[in-house]
Amino acid sequence: MEFKINPDLIAFTEELAFVASGNTLYCIGCDGLRWKKCFITTFYKDPYSDVKITALDAKKGYVAAGTNFMDGKLYLMTSEGNKIWEHQFATVVSLGWRPEDVTSVSIGDGFIAVSTQFMHDYVYAYTFRRKRLFSHRFNRDVLKVFAGSRITVLTDNSFSVFSKQGKLIYSRECRVSDVCEFQDKIVVCSKQTDFSNGVLTVPCEFAKTCGNGMNLCLMSGKTVRILDENLNEVWKAKFNDTVKYVFYREDEIFVATNKEVFRVVDGEAKLLTKTRGKIVGICSFGIFCYDRTLKIVPL
């Protein structure tokens, strides 16, 4: 499959891929394009600029998309593309309102976490029925929010963990590159190793769960490590290029670098394919690579 799309953001579920390009959101399945939606500003009319999707997540039958200050909204939709609701974020300035940039969004267990930025950075949590659970102002740049059973907020030099009602559970000064939730633990990627208040800090660049949540995958540079539920190393593999994406299917793990995909079984890596374009994602039905057009190579 091939599409004339320049991807800005991509989010995957088990069977679908959601691709944001400019102000348009595309839903792609194994049989091709399912639907697309264009977001048009309702606040500004500017011939030189338009709405851009700046935040995206998909999970559990929902898709959440946030837009920049030309629109400043959070949209919640079903995976079939039906809009459930939209919410406007705006700040009073001078004699009027100015929409905020939605900078990050994450779908959690029964709620959505979102961060916005204009004069200050804020983090909000909403139920799927649009009831606000809490809001919190940060005096630092919020880089990412992650929602699971709790909410983890990454800033430029710290991270904080909140309950979905807004109670601060844990906070620490350190640079963090990624976060995920593994069983009952929050896993944050940093240069340090520590475990406190249900928060596990590990020295890696990226982390994600795999194996139906029974394994933890840690990625650093050209290395991938798989840990079991007791955090013991199952296997470790090193590649010739920087690891960009990891995808789990049954007993196989697929590891993508910039232009190569490997199948890994019990730590043994075998080259599956090379691509002409840069790999930008991998899911159950294909390898997404971009070279002027978005191509999907069957997995």
Angstrom distance (rounded) from CA 14 to CA 23:
24
| Encoded amino acid at 216, one letter | L
Contact 10, 280 (CB under 8 A): yes
Query: What is the band of 16 on the pLDDT scale with cuts at 50, 70, 90?
Result: very high
What is the token pair recorded at 184?
């009952």
The confidence score (pLDDT) of residue 168 equals 95
Q: Determine the 3-state secondary structure of 297 from DSSP.
A: strand
Query: What is the band of 25 on the pLDDT scale with cuts at 50, 70, 90?
Result: very high
Query: What is the band of 46 on the pLDDT scale with cuts at 50, 70, 90?
Result: low
Span 1-11, average pLDDT: 97
Let me know if residue 260 belongs to a domain. no
Angstrom distance (rounded) from CA 26 to CA 62:
14
What is the token pair recorded at 182?
């593994």
Let me know if residue 149 belongs to a domain. yes
For the chain, what is the largest distance between any 2 Cα atoms, rounded to a whole number of angstroms? 63
> Domain of 38: which CATH number?
2.130.10.10
Span 166-188, average pLDDT: 93
pLDDT at 45 exceeding the cut of 70: no
Residue bearing tokens 């939209």: 86
Question: Hey, CA dihedral for 270, 273, 274, 279, is it positive or negative?
Answer: negative
Span 155-162, average pLDDT: 93
Let me know if residue 128 belongs to a domain. yes
Let me know if residue 203 belongs to a domain. no
pLDDT at 159 exceeding the cut of 90: yes
Let me know if residue 200 belongs to a domain. no
Let me know if residue 155 belongs to a domain. yes
- β-pair type (185-190, 178-182): antiparallel
DSSP state of 190: E
The confidence score (pLDDT) of residue 48 equals 57
Let me know if residue 103 belongs to a domain. yes
User: Considering its fold, how many domains does the chain have in total?
Assistant: 1
Let me know if residue 261 belongs to a domain. no
Query: Within a 10 A sphere around the Cβ of 169, how many other Cβ atoms?
Result: 15
| Percent of the chain scoring above 90 in pLDDT | 77
Write down the H helix ranges in 82-157. Answer: none
Mean pLDDT (the chain) is: 92
Q: Which residue, among 43, 44, 39, has the nearest Cα to 55 in the 3D structure?
A: 39
Alpha-carbon separation of residue 280 from 174, 244, 262, 273, 277 (angstroms): 28, 8, 15, 15, 9
| Percent of the chain scoring above 70 in pLDDT | 97
Per-residue model confidence as pLDDT tens digits over 256-284: 999 999 999 888 999 999 998 999 999 99
Q: Which residues pair with 113 in a beta bridge?
A: 106, 125
The confidence score (pLDDT) of residue 237 equals 93
Per-residue model confidence as pLDDT tens digits over 130-147: 999 999 999 989 999 999
Query: What is the band of 212 on the pLDDT scale with cuts at 50, 70, 90?
Result: confident
Angstrom distance (rounded) from CA 282 to CA 247:
7
Least confident of 44-53, 82-91, 116-125, 179-188: 44-53
Contact 116, 126 (CB under 8 A): no
Q: Which residues pair with 27 in a beta bridge?
A: 18, 35
Angstrom distance (rounded) from CA 168 to CA 87:
25
Query: What is the band of 47 on the pLDDT scale with cuts at 50, 70, 90?
Result: low
The confidence score (pLDDT) of residue 49 equals 64
Query: What is the band of 198 on the pLDDT scale with cuts at 50, 70, 90?
Result: confident
Alpha-carbon separation of residue 149 from 112, 183, 206, 221, 227 (angstroms): 11, 10, 20, 29, 21
pLDDT at 43 exceeding the cut of 70: no
Q: Which residues pair with 165 in a beta bridge?
A: none
Q: Which residues pair with 45 in a beta bridge?
A: none
The confidence score (pLDDT) of residue 146 equals 97
- Structural domain boundaries, residue 78: 1-179
Angstrom distance (rounded) from CA 12 to CA 19:
9
Per-residue model confidence as pLDDT tens digits over 94-130: 667 788 999 999 999 999 999 999 888 999 999 999 9
The confidence score (pLDDT) of residue 216 equals 94
Name the pTM for this structure.
Answer: 0.93
What is the token pair recorded at 146?
């992650």
